[in-house]
Amino acid sequence: MTSDLAQAHQLTREGQAAATARLALRLWREIDVNNLAADWERKVHQVAALVAAGQLAAAREADPYLAALLEDVQAEGIVNPEALAGFTGEGLPLLDVFMAPLWSALSALARGLSLAASLASGAVLLDLLARTMVADAGRAADIVAMAARPTITSYVRVVELPACARCIVLAGREYGLSEGFLRHPRCDCTMEPVTKNYRPEPTSPSTVFANMSAAQKRKAFGEAGTEAIEAGADVAQVVNARRGMTTATAYGRTVQATREGVTRRGIAGARLITRNPNALTAPRSGGSTQVVSEFTRRTRGGRQQLVRLRGARSPRLMPEEIMDLADDRAHAIRLLRLHGYIV
């Protein structure tokens, strides 16, 4: 489990992002509906200042957090919070970014949506941007503060509930300081450092799942995904399958399937090719295969080469489809194992 200090740091950062978003939304709710553009062009300066203040507060937390967590670790310098405030992670001025909610609302109006719905679309985007900008600045400060402490070699991802499926599968994963932090808009995950003498016990995705409420599980994984995981399916396999979702014809009907992990090197592909529910790889030849992907690449000699990847001919069913097809729990488990969800 992550330390109490790391959890407290994550909650503090989340609170800073939420408080900043609330203040920005208060200004949005006060916008002159009869003169949206002109009024927001005046208010956006206040919004940018509020978000910059939120970024500054988040960045200032980095050094105290690490100093409290690693009392015996010396820093070669401290974070300059002002350098991380007033801009996005890509270096764009906040003033430019926070015009986007206005464009969203005006675009919705132009498409024929009501004024209330159009303003709501702008509010959603404003909330997303404010929270993301503050969280990103805080994470950037954490990385800088870790880099200033040479004994810190890496970090583990801190995921606290409620969380989305994409973050849950990364819970407890360790990264080098030079690796970018994988995040999505409104992501509030943080980091806990690793040194030679300090190694936090990582929280696995399965542990996070076990601590979720029934409502949180349904929201993150869906009804069938939750059932599949509770039946023993690997959390990452269930979540990653959604990246390649498609439909296919099998068993005399159209089914939900995925292209993820179906090559002979993937667990699901190996099992579907060999029909062995315990296989981890498939031989280069033999079994029921087809070309599942092709692309060109340049060889060392500069020649263009066509690459064809072979994979399972049978579709890899989505967990939802498996739970719908299964006659009983035992049948579901057999199918989940064959399609690479139980590993």
Regarding whether 219 and 142 lie in a shared domain, the answer is no
Regarding whether 204 and 219 lie in a shared domain, the answer is no
Show which of 208, 238, 257 is a domain's final residue.
208
Residue at 265 is within a domain? yes
Two structure tokens written together for 40: 């927001």
Pure H helices in the chain: 4-29, 36-60, 62-69, 94-97, 100-110, 115-147, 165-168, 205-210, 214-230, 235-240, 267-274, 319-325, 329-338
Residue at 184 is within a domain? yes
Regarding whether 141 and 125 lie in a shared domain, the answer is yes
Confidence band (pLDDT; 50, 70, 90) for 89?
Answer: confident
Regarding whether 21 and 142 lie in a shared domain, the answer is yes
Show which of 144, 175, 208 is a domain's final residue.
208
The residue-averaged pLDDT of 304-329 equals 86
Regarding whether 223 and 113 lie in a shared domain, the answer is no
The C-alpha atoms of residue 233 and residue 7 are separated, in whole angstroms, by 28
Three-state DSSP class for residue 142: helix
Three-state DSSP class for residue 154: strand
**Domain extent at residue 62:** 4-208
Q: Beta strand 154-158 with 190-194: parallel, antiparallel or unpaired?
A: antiparallel
Regarding whether 175 and 159 lie in a shared domain, the answer is yes
pLDDT at 294 over 80: no
The residue-averaged pLDDT of 86-110 equals 92
Asked whether 133 and 21 are in contact (CB, 8 A), the reply is: no
Residue at 12 is within a domain? yes
Show which of 208, 223, 258 is a domain's final residue.
208
Q: What are phi and psi of 267, to 5 degrees?
A: -60, -45
Regarding whether 119 and 200 lie in a shared domain, the answer is yes
Q: How many domains, in total, are found in the chain?
A: 2
Question: For all residues of the chain together, what is the average pLDDT?
Answer: 91
Q: Over the stretch 165-219, which tens digit does the pLDDT of each residue have?
A: 999 999 989 999 888 888 888 899 999 999 999 999 888 899 999 999 999 999 9
Regarding whether 199 and 256 lie in a shared domain, the answer is no
Regarding whether 43 and 179 lie in a shared domain, the answer is yes
Please return the burial class of 102, using the count of CB atoms within 10 Å of its CB with bins 0-12, 13-18 and 19+: buried
Q: Taking the CB of residue 290, how many other CB atoms lie within 10 A of it?
A: 12
The C-alpha atoms of residue 202 and residue 191 are separated, in whole angstroms, by 11
Three-state DSSP class for residue 260: coil
Asked whether 5 and 65 are in contact (CB, 8 A), the reply is: yes
Residue at 295 is within a domain? yes
Residue at 276 is within a domain? yes
Per-residue model confidence (pLDDT) at position 1 = 63
Q: By mean pLDDT, which of 54-63, 103-112, 216-225, 274-283 is the weakest? A: 274-283
pLDDT at 266 over 70: yes
Regarding whether 287 and 155 lie in a shared domain, the answer is no
Residue at 69 is within a domain? yes
Three-state DSSP class for residue 248: strand
Percent of the chain with pLDDT over 70: 99
The C-alpha atoms of residue 266 and residue 268 are separated, in whole angstroms, by 6
Residue at 343 is within a domain? no
Per-residue model confidence (pLDDT) at position 182 = 86
Asked whether 134 and 81 are in contact (CB, 8 A), the reply is: no
Regarding whether 57 and 13 lie in a shared domain, the answer is yes
Regarding whether 39 and 143 lie in a shared domain, the answer is yes
